[in-house]
DNA sequence: CCTGGCACGGAGAACGCTTTCCATCTCGTG
DNA sequence: CACGAGATGGAAAGCGTTCTCCGTGCCAGG
């Protein structure tokens, strides 16, 4: 008996189901959509016939067709810089979980920190007619870039796709943030309290708001205790592992006289630690390296690590609540601020805003 | 001046573009699709008119409409167990990059190791008419579960969605794998060569093929050197960080007399290290913990870590090549095996098939 | 027994796009 | 000058759904 293995048999359509059940297409649709017309409506027997038919044929509704008809897909878009980044992936998981609770799917795209890519991806999203878009790429103060982005987002918004930002930004959209400044200041305070006096800072690109806020807050926290950081002990680099790695060399002049290298993200801290070791400095024996974000895994392998816990996984839930106009604060310009906590030498010591 | 901010202005459609450009819809479609009909076809002037119109209106094609017409979406589906897992996210990034090179988008879903969820997600995928599905969840030897999955995949395949597996499986589909057995055996050999004699193994669920292969290979590698592992020094647990954490307690009887705890994944190793420390055992001072997968970050913070490097990011490229029937080996049952490398105390020492 | 109201199933349109087919137009050639 | 080949734009169909109407049948009330 020959198997028709290469038959590109077309998937069952609603029409197939209707035919098999002996009803019309709209009826089948109504039944499968949960009986819009009177919930437990219709002859029970008919309902069962349709459901049986659907099961028999292995029918699965085509979201594409639904989207094209309804004008909007049952999905939300998520833009991040890099999926492979630990922080990002935690946040993505949070968004997906939140979306799933609402019966929505998530389309994730990565910009890889390329502004052109970002623009292209937003254009794609426009065609995809998502319910909402969550923008989790780190925003900058570069006016040209940001206003180009703003224009894109405005279009998206005017076409019915809600926009939510994750993280601080100069753009005027609903957003969910963490008070990076105050958390960083609290971190600085804790480090001073622990007896440290000589600091260097590894921050992200100067234009980038998240790392700028963190570095600014950290410096402010230090100066509140009368401690200053030499100008050339604040270096800007890529906001990721490799950025932290290379930044260490820029700190060369200070390396032997430091208590703490404060990296403005856990990923940067990891890179810094690797490079410091290559240069013969051991962490935390010779100096301490602190991070920001709280990648869970780091606490396991570096129990003494000091960082700020950002509730990455909770961003998703908060963002979707805003994006989908659910009972949050009043409508209009909404903004949710989540709490960050300090983790000093592996121990959570409370909150900064 | 009032801003009509809430106008749910409909996105521009191809018809809008055509109207503005003064051409018919099919013409607009042909122009924007890259001029199927004669490449640099038509009056250049007409082409420009259409492109201008599209730009003016901010037109973005609707993939949903394309999919519904063409019968197939320009996308591939990717099923993983947990997006937040370090290994997973690296692999996802690889798949997305490979897909993007081919002009395809990726729909990622997570099963969270729940068989029911897995079935539901596969049903969803069926309706979504993807070009191909990449199944990267870890497969098991549980016959009931696997044959249910097989049935689902067969349907998918018969409906024109190619299926590729990442990782070993008993199911008969094209796949891309790593020779876990031999790599694990090589790892064992290297550890013996380093003078270790007393081993314990932390593996995933017994039914799960990946961890079973790794543990089996490891044991085989040891016994090739005349070393045996007590039966109760091989524990099975969840194939993730928490699994490693809890597994340590099951090894209680052996903990003080071990040279190496071999965890069958980096994530498990991390959990084990955390728990060992809580129990007063320091790694690598008191005993060594080895992993499997090579999460990049671990090498930075634990330079002496010993593990097996699995080319997670390359899985995507290989999987898509197979899935899309590109020039690989002959058609039919295809299978690509990627190379794993040993990383002993942070130094890459070569390959195990 | 007849009529009005109501509930429910079906016919048809519409969504945005591609594709097949056809009509037209241009140009080269006999 | 006429005819045919080749190219090119347009009309229409159709993809799988949902939604808006309609017609039908049922029941209650007069």
**DSSP collapsed to 3 states, B273-338:** HHHHHHCCCCCCCCCEEECCECCHHHHHHCCCCEEEECCHHHHHHHHHHHHCCCCCCCCCCCEEEE
Kindly report, residue by residue over A185-244, the tens digit of the pLDDT: 999 999 999 999 999 999 999 999 999 999 999 999 999 999 999 999 999 999 999 999
Contact yes or no for B270 and A301 at CB 8 A: yes
- For position A10, what pLDDT does the model report? 82
Q: Could you tell me which chain A residue has the CA closest to the CA of B126?
A: A60
Q: Is the pLDDT of residue A4 over 50?
A: no
Scan for tokens 């996802």, then name that residue. B92
- For position A3, what pLDDT does the model report? 40
Kindly report, residue by residue over A100-116, the tens digit of the pLDDT: 999 999 999 999 989 99
Coil/strand/helix, residue B23: coil
Contact yes or no for B11 and A296 at CB 8 A: no
Would you place residue A329 in the very low, low, confident or very high pLDDT band (cuts 50, 70, 90)?
very low
Would you place residue A327 in the very low, low, confident or very high pLDDT band (cuts 50, 70, 90)?
low
- For position B31, what pLDDT does the model report? 86
CA B197 from centre of chain: 34
Q: Is the pLDDT of residue A305 over 90?
A: yes
Q: Is the pLDDT of residue B198 over 70?
A: yes
B65 touches strand C (CB under 7 A): yes
Contact yes or no for A84 and B92 at CB 8 A: yes
Which residues have CB under 8 Å from B50's CB, separation 6+? B17, B18, B21, B23, B27, B28, B31, B32
Q: To the nearest whole number, what is the mean pLDDT of chain A?
A: 89
Distance CA B48, CA B54 (A): 10
B62 touches strand C (CB under 7 A): yes
Chain D bases near protein Cβ (<7 Å): 7-12, 14-20
Distance CA B324, CA B339 (A): 22
Instruction: Tell me the nearest-neighbour CA distance from A223 into chain B, angstroms.
Output: 30
Q: Is A231 in contact with A222 (CB distance < 8 Å)?
A: no
Q: Could you tell me which chain A residue has the CA closest to the CA of B267?
A: A297
What average pLDDT does this structure show over A319-343? 79
Q: How many CB atoms lie within 10 A of CB B326?
A: 9
Find the distance separating the first CA and the last CA of chain A, reported in whole Å.
Answer: 71
What average pLDDT does this structure show over B288-297? 94
Q: Which of A38-47, A130-139, B135-144, B197-206 has the lowest mean pLDDT?
A: A38-47
Would you place residue B35 in the very low, low, confident or very high pLDDT band (cuts 50, 70, 90)?
low
A44 touches strand C (CB under 7 A): no
Which residues have CB under 8 Å from A40's CB, separation 6+? none
Dihedral of the alpha carbons of B145, B150, B152, B156, in degrees to the nearest 10: 160
Kindly report, residue by residue over B326-341, the tens digit of the pLDDT: 655 455 558 899 999 9
Protein B30 CA to nucleic acid D20 C1', in Å? 33
Q: What is the pTM of this model?
A: 0.91
Q: Is the pLDDT of residue A322 over 60?
A: yes
- For position B147, what pLDDT does the model report? 93
DSSP B174: -
Would you place residue B272 in the very low, low, confident or very high pLDDT band (cuts 50, 70, 90)?
very high
CA A322 from centre of chain: 14
Chain A residues within an 8 Å CB radius of B298: 297, 301
What average pLDDT does this structure show over B190-201? 96
Q: At what angle do helices B266-278 and B241-250 cross, to 10 degrees?
A: 50
Chain A residues within an 8 Å CB radius of B62: 67-68, 127-129
Kindly report, residue by residue over B51-61, the tens digit of the pLDDT: 888 998 889 99
Residue B212 belongs to what H/E stretch? Answer: helix B209-223
Distance CA B207, CA B67 (A): 38
Distance CA B180, CA B111 (A): 23
- For position A6, what pLDDT does the model report? 47
What average pLDDT does this structure show over B224-242? 95
Q: Is the pLDDT of residue A326 over 80?
A: no
DSSP track, A82-128 = -TTSHHHHHHHHHHHHHHHHTT-EEEEEE-TT-HHHHHHHHHHHHHH
What is the percent of chain B with per-residue pLDDT over 90, rounded to a whole number?
73
Contact yes or no for B11 and A82 at CB 8 A: no
DSSP track, B67-96 = HHHHSS-SEEEEEES-TTSHHHHHHHHHHH
Kindly report, residue by residue over A5-55, the tens digit of the pLDDT: 445 678 889 999 988 888 888 888 888 886 656 544 556 777 888 888 899
- For position A1, what pLDDT does the model report? 40
Kindly report, residue by residue over B49-94, the tens digit of the pLDDT: 888 889 988 899 999 999 998 888 999 999 999 999 888 999 999 9
Kindly report, residue by residue over B106-133, the tens digit of the pLDDT: 999 999 989 999 999 999 999 999 999 9
What is the percent of chain A with per-residue pLDDT over 90, rounded to a whole number?
73
Q: Is A80 in contact with A108 (CB distance < 8 Å)?
A: yes
Structure tokens at B219: 């044991």
Distance CA B288, CA B191 (A): 10
- For position A301, what pLDDT does the model report? 93
Cis peptide before B106 (omega within 30 of 0): no
């Amino acid at each position: 008996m020959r198997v028709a293995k290469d038959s590109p048999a077309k998937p069952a359509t609603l029409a197939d189901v209707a035919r098999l059940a002996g009803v019309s297409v709209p009826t089948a649709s109504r039944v499968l959509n949960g009986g819009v017309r009177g919930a437990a409506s219709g002859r029970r027997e008919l309902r069962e016939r349709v459901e049986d038919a659907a099961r028999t044929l292995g029918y699965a509704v085509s979201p594409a067709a639904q989207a094209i008809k309804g004008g909007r897909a049952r999905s939300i878009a998520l833009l991040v810089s890099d999926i492979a980044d630990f922080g990002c992936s935690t946040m993505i998981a949070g968004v997906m979980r939140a979306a799933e609770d609402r019966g929505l799917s998530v389309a994730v795209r990565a910009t890889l920190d390329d502004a052109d890519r970002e623009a292209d991806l937003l254009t794609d999203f426009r065609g995809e007619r998502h319910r909402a878009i969550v923008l989790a790429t780190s925003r900058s103060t570069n006016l040209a870039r940001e206003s180009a982005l703003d224009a894109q987002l405005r279009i998206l918004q005017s076409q019915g796709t809600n926009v939510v930002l994750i993280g601080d930004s100069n753009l005027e959209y609903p957003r969910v943030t963490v008070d990076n400044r105050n958390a960083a200041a609290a971190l600085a305070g804790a480090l001073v309290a622990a007896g440290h006096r000589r600091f260097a800072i590894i921050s992200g690109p100067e234009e980038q708001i998240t790392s700028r806020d963190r570095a600014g807050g950290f410096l402010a926290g230090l100066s509140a205790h009368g401690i200053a950081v030499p100008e050339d002990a604040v270096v800007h680099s890529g906001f990721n592992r490799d950025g932290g790695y290379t930044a260490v060399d820029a700190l060369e002049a200070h390396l032997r006289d430091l208590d703490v290298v404060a990296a403005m993200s856990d990923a940067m801290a990891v890179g810094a630690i690797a490079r410091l070791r290559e240069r013969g400095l051991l962490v935390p024996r010779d100096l301490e390296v602190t991070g920001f974000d709280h990648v869970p895994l780091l606490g396991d392998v570096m129990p003494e690590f000091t960082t700020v816990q950002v509730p990455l996984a909770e961003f998703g839930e908060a963002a979707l609540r805003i994006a989908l106009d659910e009972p949050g604060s009043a409508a209009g310009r909404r903004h949710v601020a989540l709490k960050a906590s300090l983790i000093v030498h592996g121990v959570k010591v409370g909150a900064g805003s």
